[in-house]
Structures are given as structure tokens and as C-alpha cells.
Structure 1
Amino acid sequence: MTTDYVIAIDLGGTKIAAALADRDGNLSLPCRTDTPAHEGGAAVVGAINALVGEIRSQAHKDGIDRIVGVGIGSAGVVDLAGQRIIASTDAIRGWAGTEVVSLVESAVNLPVTLENDVNAHLRGEAWKGAGAGKNYVAMMALGTGIGGALMVNGEILVGPHGTAGDFGHLPTLLPTKRACTCGRGVPHLETVASGPGLYAWYLENGGDPAVGGARELEKRALSGDALAARIYTEVAAETGRALGSIVNTVDPEVMIVGGGLANSTDIWWKPIRAAYQEQLVNILREVPLVKATLGNAAALVGAAKKIWNRVDG
């Protein structure tokens, strides 16, 4: 019996990752390329098509010819039909308005699915990771920005405008004077609690510009730098309060935290957990706060699951 496979794509502002995936979400033949983020939507679609071709070629050499679809998890807001990008930040110039599905399908002659990358991340974690076996799951991803996603009764909640779970734009009580990346002047969580936001909040409080970013800031905090430690603690606590507020609002079975900042040490996790528990209403005190387990593979696994769902009807 010939085994079927799909190709999974994870498209971000700096890189596009791809892999072959079987029906159990096992990934193989990984490859990646830089995102041509300043060259427009057509160039980005071209890069996707090139990766599909690369994996098909390698799969053929390995005796695999039954590739039945392509699943894409992409940065940006995806329309409700799952066909095109309807909004995007300047991280990928000209991405908004790109008819991703039709352009890729016509080039590779395979069925294609498209969803937001953080939704794909949650889909992967709910299938094979920290949310496996759960039907009601919330997730926050903290890295270059802050994203989020919600699963309700086993389905990703998208919302009528495609932005359900956009937790980076929750308010923050930290008195930053910087505008959010969304352009609003009011203080949003992403402004202080993403990787760049945490670092910028440190500088806003008189930090040393010689510190290169959030990772070095954590090292400073761990080595006894009082300001770095205070910033890390207060930002983590603010994040924990936001996570608790989300749980209070949507009542999930589990709250998952992913993204690069989730790899931080206890100087970040300890105040997050404390503030999270402090925020929860009594009936939700047992909802676990857990770290995502699939790492960089999560969105690929989720994208694979999405296209398998379509292929299987």
C-alpha cells in the first residue's frame, strides 16, 4: 500500500520552513529559506513554491511520490474562507491582499490550506503537543511579537474578522510611552512583553544600551543586575496577569505558553506563574499553565493537520 504525505509550510517574517509530514504528524525532509520580505507577495509565494518543489524532488529520490496536499501556516490575518491574507504588518511588505491559496495551487497542482501561523501553532500543540486530548485550549506565543489562539470544542476560533486570540493587544498597566506595533498610542501588552518590547521597556527605564536584546538582558538579570532583574520580574508578572485574565474569560482546559520567551529560566517563569495564579477566579485555579512542547515544529505540525483535514474531507 502506498503511503500518502503532505507538505507543511511555516511562513514568518524572516524565514519560511517546510517539511514532509505523514498522517501521524511526523516530519521529515526539513528545509528552509529566507523570506523575501521586502520583495512583495508574489516573491513570497514564489519562495513557497520553490520549497514545495525542493521537497517533492527529494521525496522522489527517496521513493515517495504520493504527496497529496500543502498546508501553510502564515504570518498575517487570513480571511474566513482560508484563501488570502487580508492584513499584515510591514514585516512582510505587500503580503496583505495576496491570494495565497489560488497562486500556490495553480503552481504546484495540489490542494492547499492556509491559516494564521499562531493558529497553526495551537493546532499542532492540540494535536501532538501540550494540549493533546483537550478540546478547549488557549495559547499565547511570545517572541518577536505576541500572538495567541483559541480552540473551542476542538475547532480553532477565528472570529468574523480573523483576529480571535490576538492577545498582544491586551492592555498593560506598565506606563510605557511607546506606541504599539499596531499603531495605537495606548499601551498594549506586546509593547512591553514581547522580546523586543521587554528590551525596549528596559531601555525606557534607564537601561544600558550596550545590552544587545532580551537574551542578554536575561543573562544580566541572572548575574545580579538589579535593574535587569526588576524589569524581567515586572514584565513577567504583567504577562502572568494577562494569561490569568484570558483563562478567566474563555475557560479553557489548559493555557499554553510558546514562542522564544517560553525558553526563559525561572526568573521569567516564576513571576508569571505567581501572577497567573493570583489572577484566576477560584473555580479556575486548577487550569494548568504549561509550556508548549513542540518548539519550532509546532506550526508545521499544525499546518500538516489542517491539510490532512481537507484531504480526508
Structure 2
Amino acid sequence: MTGLAGPDAVAVRSGPSGLLAGVDIGGTTTQVVLVDRDLTVRARAEAPTPALVSGHAMAATAARLVKELVASHGSGRPLVGVGVGAAGVVDAALGRILVASDSFTGWSGFPSRRFSPRPSTPRRFSTTT
């Protein structure tokens, strides 16, 4: 999993104590990493991607993994940002996945702005096309 730094890095709230999550929604597996602000890995998790179910099911799987990692390894620290990588073409202005492979049921048109373990958590979508 990469992409937590660089030109597409998500802007996060200030403060040294927050946590960041990196999410990779793959065709078969969804992987999540929880890191400190200095990018020290605190925990990792993965689960099968429900790619044949729906975009909402894929986002829910990723959000569940993030929530579980924060609850079990966050030591009470807040989640201040989430970066998500997935296959497809994203329109950041519209906040939608425009085009995706047929192996991702319901991913084309998915409202990427709605993905977040908590609505107030900043997030950034990128794609791997």
C-alpha cells in the first residue's frame, strides 16, 4: 500500500496524536493499514473484497476494517485522515467513480465522497488504472 505522501496526500487536521488509514480496495482483497502521523505502522488488516456485490458493500468492508483497527490499535487517538486507492477512474470534482472494470459490480457511478469511516474524516480517493 502506498500513496500516503506526495502530491495527492490528504490534508489532515493539525495535531501530533491523530492516526491515518490507508485503504487498498483490490479485486479480491481489501487491505487497510493504520499509521501514526510519522507513518509508523500501528496495525494492518485485510478481508475479501465483495466486488461482485456492490460499490456500497466494498466501501462498507473498507470502513469496517478501518473502524476495527482504530478501535483495537488506536489507543483512543482520533482518526484524522483516510486515503483510498481502487481501480477505476475517479472524478474528484463530482466525487464519483466514473468508470471501473466489470469485475467491480456497482463501482461505476459510486459516490466516492460518501466513503468514510466517519463523515467528518478527511479522505482522498485515487485510482490504479
TM-score normalised over the length of structure 2: 0.77
Match of 1:113 in 2: 124
Q: 1:90 is aligned with what amino acid?
A: D
* CA distance 1:17–1:23, shift in 2 (3 Å): same
Match of 2:81 in 1: 69
Match of 1:26 in 2: 40
Aligned counterparts of 1:41 and 1:21: Cα–Cα separation in 2: 25
Aligned counterparts of 1:17 and 1:35: Cα–Cα separation in 2: 9
Aligned counterparts of 1:33 and 1:115: Cα–Cα separation in 2: 20
Q: 1:76 is aligned with what amino acid?
A: G
Q: 2:124 is aligned with what amino acid?
A: T
Aligned counterparts of 2:63 and 2:78: Cα–Cα separation in 1: 18
Give, in angstroms, the shift of residue 100 of structure 1: 2.0
Q: 1:47 is aligned with what amino acid?
A: T
* Residue aligned with 2:77, SS: coil
Query: Could you report, residue by residue, the CA deviation over 1:147-177 in whole angstroms, capped at 9, with x for unpaired residues?
Result: 5xxxxxxxxxxxxxxxxxxxxxxxxxxxxxx
Q: 1:3 aligns with which of 2, 5, 17?
A: 17
Q: 1:87 is aligned with what amino acid?
A: V
Q: 2:50 aligns with which of 7, 13, 36?
A: 36
Match of 2:9 in 1: none
Match of 1:17 in 2: 31
Can you give the 5+ residue segments of structure 2 that lack an aligned partner in the other structure? 1-14
Aligned counterparts of 1:91 and 1:59: Cα–Cα separation in 2: 33
Aligned counterparts of 1:32 and 1:101: Cα–Cα separation in 2: 22
Taking CA–CA contacts closer than 8 Å with sequence separation of 6 or more, which of the two structures ends up with the larger relative contact order? 2
The reply on whether 1:91 has 2:72 as its aligned counterpart is no
Query: Could you report, residue by residue, the CA deviation over 1:104-146 in whole angstroms, capped at 9, with x for unpaired residues?
Result: 23x5231211111x3xxxxxxxxxxxxxxxxxxxxxxxxxxxx
* Number of equivalences: 114
Q: Which has the higher strand share?
A: 2
Match of 2:65 in 1: 51
* Residue aligned with 2:37, SS: coil
Query: Could you report, residue by residue, the CA deviation over 1:188-217 in whole angstroms, capped at 9, with x for unpaired residues?
Result: xxxxxxxxxxxxxxxxxxxxxxxxxxxxxx
Aligned counterparts of 2:93 and 2:47: Cα–Cα separation in 1: 27
Instruction: Describe how 1:286-305 pairs up with structure 2 within 5 A.
Output: none
Q: 1:84 is aligned with what amino acid?
A: R
Query: Higher mean Cα deviation, 107-116 or 43-52?
Result: 107-116
Give, in angstroms, the shift of residue 91 of structure 1: 1.6
Can you give the 5+ residue segments of structure 1 that lack an aligned partner in the other structure? 119-146, 148-313
* CA distance 1:82–1:48, shift in 2 (3 Å): farther
* Residue aligned with 1:32, SS: strand
| Contact residue 91 and residue 98 of structure 2 kept, 8 A | yes
Give, in angstroms, the shift of residue 26 of structure 1: 2.8
Aligned counterparts of 1:11 and 1:17: Cα–Cα separation in 2: 7
* CA distance 1:82–1:16, shift in 2 (3 Å): farther
Structure label with greater radius of gyration = 1
* CA distance 1:54–1:82, shift in 2 (3 Å): farther
| Contact residue 59 and residue 65 of structure 1 kept, 8 A | no
Aligned counterparts of 2:23 and 2:55: Cα–Cα separation in 1: 16
| Contact residue 33 and residue 47 of structure 1 kept, 8 A | yes
CA RMSD of aligned residues (A): 2.0
Identity of aligned residues (%): 30
Aligned counterparts of 1:51 and 1:101: Cα–Cα separation in 2: 18
